[in-house]
Structure 1
Amino acid sequence: MKVLFAVSECVPFIKSGGLADVAGTLPSELKKAGADIRVILPKYALIPEKFKKAMKKRAEFIVQVGWRRQYCGIEELKHEGITYYFIDNEYYFKRNQMYGDYDDGEKFAYFNRAVLEAMFQIEFFPDILHCHDWHAGMIPFLLRTEYNSDARCNHIKTVFTIHNLQFQGIFPPETLGDLLGLSYRYFNPEQLEFYGNINFMKAALVSSDKITTVSPTYMEEIQTPYFGEKLDGILRMRKADLKGVLNGIDNSLYDPSNDSSLEAAFTSRDLAGKQLNKMSLQCQYGLPENEQPLMAMVTRLTKQKGLDLVRGIFHEIMKTGVQMIVLGTGDIEFEQFLTQMASQYPQQCRVLIGFDESLAHRIYAGADMFLMPSKFEPCGLSQLIAMRYGTVPIVRETGGLNDTVQSYNPEDKSGSGFTFTNFNAHDMLFTIERALAIYRNNQEWNNLVQTVMELDFSWSTSAKVYQELYKDLITGSETHVC
């Protein structure tokens, strides 16, 4: 089985969010199952020099971007048993950021076309072309409309994964001809037209053979108007081809028994090291080294992540006596508010604006509770990492949070965290207070910590689901007609 991932970011080379984690860890599990899995992504200037020096040039050719003729180089790198291809074009990718440029439409129109042209240059025609999020969303559509008459391509089946439906790649209608070189006959509501514009995400939804989301609950949610971001109608229409596959984490990367970032190693059967990590974190950031519960957030500081709720009852949270440490960047309104709160509560709160991977590991390991009150959450990796490090999650029942955290029941001691349903600040406060009540019972809390550490959210289970999905597509004779 030959599989090609087309993705805009991938660890360990470049990362802005969970998309990169999936692209960097799922292929290894698929390879273990016997797939010839390869990954193609842009060669950003931001990729560390040690990786760029190890790349070898495979091909050079021209990619047509509308009327433009743009250079494309293909650099190859084998890393931990996986072959990666990097699309080299300094005009588009020699920049200080991956996204948010004025010409994102042109940049990713180029990337989508370059991925398809690269297959001919490297002579790798996959059985499955698996595209991720809007940045690769036009690939399935171009394959079906521009390349499928080629005998080398007409067997290729496409899978498209929605990592976050909120970001869709919406551009002016001129994009169709000027950048994609497509006929305007595709500018209609059944295909690419989206409220007067072109939508890369929609292109994938109408043309891919199968569509996956990163959790089962999110798959159901996005078929409703509230979560569907104006694409719920198409998603309901493609319901038979939708599948929710829960993301996983790399257990070797997040391993409290063997993590060089931590002050002390620990396991579910020996939690002494977790207490040492807590004290180290308290000491490092000037918080009193006591038994008060330490609650953490490692997050983007945005409304999606529930920062409105946190702001609404922050003073009430402080009145419970918890210590709180927040790591992240995001909207200036939340950065400023949290920084102000840290000044107001110097004995309880620390706010660290920015991101540091090693520090994130120390926070996951040192905290007692992890707060994640998202407004919506396609899957979420932070709660999975937190549980791996024995930090009990407090989450809202949405998307992947609903699939991965079961509400703790003090009667039969079942469950893996504390949850609330409504997007309501006082519901969240009540849930925090429930968690604190259990925390005060040392033995019960330690049993809960042991339970969450022993849950298995590795990629192996999810990889098996993808493998079966691929097999079903390959054995099926028909492809989806867009």
Structure 2
Amino acid sequence: MKVLFAASEAVPFIKTGGLADVIGSLPKELAKQGVDVRVILPKYEGIPEKYTAAMELVTSFHLQMGWRQLYCGIFKLVHEGIVFYFVDNEFYFRRQGCYGYGDDAERFAYYCRAVLDALPRIDFMPDVIHCHDWQAGMIPVLYRAHFEYQEHYAGIKTVITIHNLKYQGVFGQNEFRDYFTLGDEHFHGNALELHGGASFLKGGLLYSDYITTVSPTYAEEIQTPYYGENLDSLLRSQSHRLQGILNGIDYEEFDPMTDPNLEINYRDSMPKKLLNKNKLQAWLGLPVDKDIPLIALVTRLVDQKGLALIERVIHELLALDAQFVVVGTGEHRYESLFRWAADTYPDKMSAQILFDEGLARQVYAGSDLFLMPSLFEPCGIGQLVAMRYRSVPIVRETGGLKDTVLSYNDETGEGTGFSFTHYNAHDMLYTVERAVSLYRDPAVWSNIMANIKKKDFSWGKSAKQYAALYGALTR
């Protein structure tokens, strides 16, 4: 079984969000299932020099994109046993960051075209091309329009995974006609047309053989108007070929026993975790006190993450007998909120308005509770890493948060965290209050720790589901 992952980012090369973690870790688990899986990415300027120096040029050629004849180089690097290919064109990819440029439509049109044109030249003709998010969404459309009937390309199946439905790659129809050489039949409401323009993601949803998303609950949610981002009716019509497969995390990458960012490594030793907490409290300038629960947020500071709820009850939260630490950057509104809180309540709040992976790991290890009150969350990785580092999640029941965190039940002793259903600030506040109060009950806390220990959020189970899906498509 040969599978090619087409995606716009992957750990450890380039990362803006959770997509990169998936593309960096899922292929390794699929390889253990006997799948020959490879990954193809754009060759961005931001890829560290230690990786670019080790890449070898496999092939270079010119491809046709509309009226343009464009250079394309394909570089190759084997990392942790997985073959990664990199699409090289300095005009499109030699810039800072991945997205946010005025010509993103042209850049990722070029990428989609390059993936398909490269296949015979890299000596890897996959059984399945697995496309991730809007940046790779036009690969299934191009395949059906221009490649399906070519001799080498016959029989390839395409899968698209929605990592976040909010981002749809919507641009002008004239751009699509130009870059993809598509006729009028592709631009009505039952094809690429969306909001008067055209959408990369919609193309992938309609023209691929199968659609997946990153948790079972999110697969249900996106078929409703509230979560469907104006594509809910399309997704309902395609529900027979839509499946939610839960993301995992790389248990080797996220391991408090071996994490080099921690001064004191541990697994299930609460005394050692407490030493991490005390060091973190001291470093953050918070009172060092093992009996005060430390509540962490490691997140992008944006609306999606439920920060409006925190803003609404910030005074009540800071009146609790608890401490808070925030790590992340984002919207000015929320950066200012947490800076204000840290200045006003220096004994209660530390605001680290930055992105620092090493500090984030220390916060996972040093915190007692991990707050994720998201408005929506396709899967979420923070709550999985938190549980791996034995920090108890407090979440809103949405998407992957609902699928991975079971609210603690006082009667049965079951549960791995705390949760609330409605997007309501006082429901969240009540849930945080409950968590803070139960933190002071050693029997309950050791029970929750024991429940978390039994959970496995590594990629093994999910990789089996993907391997079974590829098998079913190609049989």
The aligned residue for residue 56 of structure 1 is 56
The aligned residue for residue 356 of structure 1 is 356
CA shift, 1:207, in A, is: 0.6
Q: Secondary structure at the match of 1:202?
A: helix
Are residue 83 (structure 1) and residue 83 (structure 2) matched? Answer: yes
Structure-1 separation of matches of 2:296 and 2:58:
46
The answer (yes or no) to whether the contact 1:222–1:235 under 8 Å persists in 2 is yes
The aligned residue for residue 285 of structure 2 is 286
The answer (yes or no) to whether the contact 1:72–1:88 under 8 Å persists in 2 is yes
* Structure 1 residues 333-369: Cα deviation after superposition (integer angstroms, max 9, x where no partner): 1111111111000111011111111111100010000
Q: Secondary structure at the match of 1:448?
A: helix
Structure-2 separation of matches of 1:68 and 1:280:
58
The aligned residue for residue 271 of structure 2 is 272
Are residue 457 (structure 1) and residue 457 (structure 2) matched? Answer: yes
Structure-2 separation of matches of 1:450 and 1:386:
15
Structure-1 separation of matches of 2:450 and 2:301:
30
The answer (yes or no) to whether the contact 1:255–1:388 under 8 Å persists in 2 is yes
CA shift, 1:444, in A, is: 1.8
Structure-1 separation of matches of 2:407 and 2:359:
28
The answer (yes or no) to whether the contact 2:414–2:451 under 8 Å persists in 1 is no
1:278 counterpart letter in structure 2: K
* Structure 1 residues 191-222: Cα deviation after superposition (integer angstroms, max 9, x where no partner): 11112101000000101111000000000000
Structure-2 separation of matches of 1:150 and 1:123:
16
CA shift, 1:181, in A, is: 1.9
Q: Secondary structure at the match of 1:179?
A: helix
Structure-2 separation of matches of 1:412 and 1:61:
64
Are residue 139 (structure 1) and residue 139 (structure 2) matched? Answer: yes
* Structure 1 residues 175-201: Cα deviation after superposition (integer angstroms, max 9, x where no partner): 122222222321111111112101000
The aligned residue for residue 67 of structure 2 is 67
The answer (yes or no) to whether the contact 1:65–1:180 under 8 Å persists in 2 is yes
Structure-2 separation of matches of 1:309 and 1:66:
48
Q: Secondary structure at the match of 1:287?
A: coil
Give the alignment's Cα RMSD to 1 decimal: 0.9
Structure-1 separation of matches of 2:65 and 2:445:
58
Structure-2 separation of matches of 1:454 and 1:358:
26
Structure-2 separation of matches of 1:274 and 1:411:
28
The answer (yes or no) to whether the contact 1:389–1:453 under 8 Å persists in 2 is no
Structure-1 separation of matches of 2:411 and 2:70:
65
CA shift, 1:66, in A, is: 1.9
The aligned residue for residue 20 of structure 1 is 20
Identity value in percent: 53
Are residue 391 (structure 1) and residue 391 (structure 2) matched? Answer: yes
Task: Map 1:228-243 to 2 at 5 A.
Answer: 228-243=228-243
1:274 counterpart letter in structure 2: K
The aligned residue for residue 480 of structure 1 is none
Q: Secondary structure at the match of 2:364?
A: helix
The aligned residue for residue 38 of structure 1 is 38
The answer (yes or no) to whether the contact 1:176–1:183 under 8 Å persists in 2 is no
CA shift, 1:386, in A, is: 0.1
The aligned residue for residue 347 of structure 1 is 347
The answer (yes or no) to whether the contact 2:186–2:192 under 8 Å persists in 1 is yes
CA shift, 1:446, in A, is: 2.5
Q: Secondary structure at the match of 1:198?
A: strand
The answer (yes or no) to whether the contact 1:335–1:353 under 8 Å persists in 2 is yes
Structure-1 separation of matches of 2:231 and 2:127:
28
The aligned residue for residue 103 of structure 1 is 103
Structure-2 separation of matches of 1:258 and 1:415:
27
CA shift, 1:449, in A, is: 2.2
Task: Map 1:183-222 to 2 at 5 A.
Answer: 183-222=183-222
Larger CA deviation: 449-458 vs 225-234: 449-458
Are residue 337 (structure 1) and residue 337 (structure 2) matched? Answer: yes
1:263 counterpart letter in structure 2: E
Q: Secondary structure at the match of 1:152?
A: helix
Structure-1 separation of matches of 2:348 and 2:84:
46
CA shift, 1:257, in A, is: 1.4
The answer (yes or no) to whether the contact 1:9–1:16 under 8 Å persists in 2 is yes
Structure-2 separation of matches of 1:318 and 1:337:
13
Structure-1 separation of matches of 2:144 and 2:421:
42
The answer (yes or no) to whether the contact 2:75–2:85 under 8 Å persists in 1 is yes
Structure-2 separation of matches of 1:240 and 1:83:
33
Q: Secondary structure at the match of 1:54?
A: coil
* Structure 1 residues 232-270: Cα deviation after superposition (integer angstroms, max 9, x where no partner): 1110111000010000001111111111111211222x2
CA shift, 1:141, in A, is: 0.8
TM-score by length of 2: 0.99
The aligned residue for residue 92 of structure 1 is 92
Task: Map 1:413-424 to 2 at 5 A.
Answer: 413-424=413-424
Larger CA deviation: 175-184 vs 112-121: 175-184
* Structure 1 residues 85-134: Cα deviation after superposition (integer angstroms, max 9, x where no partner): 00001111111110000110010000000100010211211001000000
The answer (yes or no) to whether the contact 1:406–1:418 under 8 Å persists in 2 is yes
TM-score by length of 1: 0.97
Structure 1 stretches of at least 4 aligned residues deviating more than 6 Å after TM superposition: none
2:286 counterpart letter in structure 1: L
Structure-2 separation of matches of 1:358 and 1:240:
43
Q: Secondary structure at the match of 2:116?
A: helix
Q: Secondary structure at the match of 2:86?
A: strand
What is the aligned residue count? 474
The aligned residue for residue 479 of structure 1 is none
Are residue 427 (structure 1) and residue 433 (structure 2) matched? Answer: no
Structure-2 separation of matches of 1:42 and 1:354:
26
The answer (yes or no) to whether the contact 2:297–2:325 under 8 Å persists in 1 is yes
* Structure 1 residues 463-482: Cα deviation after superposition (integer angstroms, max 9, x where no partner): 0000100000010xxxxxxx
Structure-2 separation of matches of 1:330 and 1:453:
33
The aligned residue for residue 6 of structure 2 is 6
Structure-2 separation of matches of 1:181 and 1:55:
32
Structure-1 separation of matches of 2:422 and 2:337:
24
Structure-2 separation of matches of 1:404 and 1:63:
44
| Structure 2 residue ranges without an equivalent (≥5) | none
| Structure 1 residue ranges without an equivalent (≥5) | 476-482
Structure-2 separation of matches of 1:353 and 1:65:
42
Structure-1 separation of matches of 2:254 and 2:446:
20
1:134 counterpart letter in structure 2: W
